[in-house]
Amino acid sequence: MPALEALLTADETVAVREAAAWALGRVGGGDATRALNAARENEGESLVRDAIEVGLMMGR
């Protein structure tokens, strides 16, 4: 899971960050939710923010 979190927070490619958010949502659990919530605070791209929201909904 640390690799997905690193991709979500640091990769330059929007599609990679979007896919990492989706994957974290599929994995689910407390660590994934924390990573998604933290990324939501700093993400500037609307596509990635949308993927983060979907990931959070999937993890419920």
pTM: 0.93
Closest CA to 33 of 3, 6, 57: 57
- By the 8 A CB rule, do 24 and 36 touch? yes
In tens digits, the chain (60 residues) has pLDDT values of: 899 999 999 999 999 999 999 999 999 999 999 999 999 999 999 999 999 999 999 977
